Amino acid sequence: MPESNKKNNFFGKVMLAPMAGEGDYAFRAACKKFGADYLVSEMISAKAICYNDKKTPLLAKIRAEEMPIALQIFGCEPEFMAKASDFLINEAIKAGTPCAAIDINMGCPVPKVVKNGEGSALMKTPELAGKVIKAVKEACGETPVTVKMRLGWDAANINVVDMAKIAEENGASAVCVHARTREQFYTPGVDISHIKTVKEALSIPVIGNGDIFRAEDAFNVFSQTGCDAVAIARGALGNPYIFAQIKAALEGKEYAPPTPRERIEEALREIAVRIEDKGEYAGIRESRVHLAHFTKSLRGSAAIRGKINFIDSFEELKETLYSYIEELESAKLA
């Protein structure tokens, strides 16, 4: 990493990418525990903040143990984006848990977001995107602003280098590039050559993102693009160990993967945190998708997932999972 970028890198090398719906506090805390240097919140609607929506600020709640964490906002009106940034920064300071940065979402592909000109639709309106970034930067003062983007809208309109330069010119401290277009959503595979081009064109740090599911994938992104850090989203679902695994690989150290018992006990700890945060009803339901990820590579996991989906209490969930662990362990001994 060039010296100048080392100084400007306030997020480390291996970070958690934002995930609306799944990247909640319980999940983030587990990622942090297993080595994520930096976290990003689920995306937060700037408009909802400005219209005093009651539930939205809950997405921005920061707990001391998950710092440093950036709060990600989405929207396309410079005034709303600036006002929301100012609100979020001040609320976090008042709570004694300042956010490390405001991250601007220019990558979300979902129709209900892009139809309003928000998320990855901002890649189609570079001038407006520049105004949004500038307004947010002015509102943020000392707090850094970062921008997460895709390669462009579609294969015929790849403009990530221009957009990254616009971000830099308007005061962004780093950009994160998910190496796909909006039209690709999440498949097929990423084209990381564009991350390299962005890295060569910018003086601010560049974070590479997309399809990092194993330490080798992270290693390839670093070595093929020269990026300053990598961000991981789906690869951390049910696998918070990926951060420690990548760091071990980067340092040339061995990493012992968790046993099935360790995986399931970790899943239960994550669920306990989610229940404490959101109550048993929502905590159990929202944990089902996480549990499916935690157990997906284990023997008999389809049957256990079928059972779990009908369980409503934590006690019953624990009993079911512990007897599953015992089945797994006795099958191994048999």
Which residues, numbered 246-275, are part of the site for ligand FMN (CB under 6 A)?
none
Nearer to ligand FMN, 166 or 321 (CB): 166
Helix boundaries (H) for 24-77 = 25-33, 46-50, 56-59
Closest distance to ligand FMN from the beta carbon of 180 (Å): 7
Closest distance to ligand FMN from the beta carbon of 176 (Å): 8
Longest dimension (CA), the chain: 66
Q: Which residues lie across from 207 on neighbouring strands?
A: 176, 229
Is residue 304 at the binding interface for ligand FMN, with CB under 6 A as the rule?
Answer: no
Closest distance to ligand FMN from the beta carbon of 329 (Å): 32
**Part in contact with ligand FMN (CB under 6 A); list of ranges 102-110, 267-275, 292-300, 308-316:** 102-110
Closest distance to ligand FMN from the beta carbon of 333 (Å): 36
Query: Which amino acid type is present at position 147?
Result: V
Dist. CA 315–CA 317, nearest whole Å: 5
Nearest to 28 by CA among 37, 11, 16: 16
Q: Which of 45, 85, 105, 225 binds ligand FMN (CB under 6 A)?
A: 105
By rule CB under 6 A, what count of residues binds ligand FMN?
A: 22
Give the list of residues 6+ apart from residue 175 with CB closer than 8 angstroms, or none.
146, 147, 148, 149, 164, 167, 168, 198, 202, 204, 206, 207
Residue 99 falls in the annotated catalytic set: no
Distances (CA, A) of 282 to 25, 55, 312: 13, 14, 9
Q: Which of 124, 214, 234, 288 binds ligand FMN (CB under 6 A)?
A: 234
Is residue 232 at the binding interface for ligand FMN, with CB under 6 A as the rule?
Answer: yes
Is residue 211 at the binding interface for ligand FMN, with CB under 6 A as the rule?
Answer: yes
- The dihedrals phi and psi of 154, each to the nearest 5 degrees, come to -150, 180
Instruction: Give the CA angle between residues 299, 326, 258 to the nearest 5°.
Output: 60
Instruction: Give the CA angle between residues 85, 50, 145 to the nearest 5°.
Output: 15
Give the list of residues 6+ apart from residue 66 with CB closer than 8 angstroms, or none.
25, 28, 29, 32, 39
Q: For the chain, first and last CA: distance in Å?
A: 51
Note whether 150 and 99 are within 8 A (CB).
Answer: no
Q: Which of 13, 14, 18, 145 binds ligand FMN (CB under 6 A)?
A: 18
**Part in contact with ligand FMN (CB under 6 A); list of ranges 54-62, 228-236, 261-269, 311-319:** 228-236
Q: Which of 50, 76, 99, 108 is catalytic?
A: 108
Token pair, residue 130, equals: 């520049």
Closest distance to ligand FMN from the beta carbon of 173 (Å): 16
Closest distance to ligand FMN from the beta carbon of 68 (Å): 17
Is residue 21 at the binding interface for ligand FMN, with CB under 6 A as the rule?
Answer: yes
Nearer to ligand FMN, 139 or 232 (CB): 232
Q: Which of 14, 15, 19, 88 binds ligand FMN (CB under 6 A)?
A: 19
Nearer to ligand FMN, 34 or 324 (CB): 34
- The dihedrals phi and psi of 308, each to the nearest 5 degrees, come to -55, -35
DSSP state, 76? S
Nearer to ligand FMN, 86 or 118 (CB): 118
Q: Which of 26, 31, 43, 151 binds ligand FMN (CB under 6 A)?
A: 43
Q: Which of 107, 238, 240, 260 binds ligand FMN (CB under 6 A)?
A: 107
Closest distance to ligand FMN from the beta carbon of 218 (Å): 10
Is residue 289 at the binding interface for ligand FMN, with CB under 6 A as the rule?
Answer: no
Footprint on this chain of ligand FMN (rule: CB under 6 A): 17-22, 42-43, 72, 105, 107-108, 148, 178, 209-212, 232-235
Catalytic residues: 108
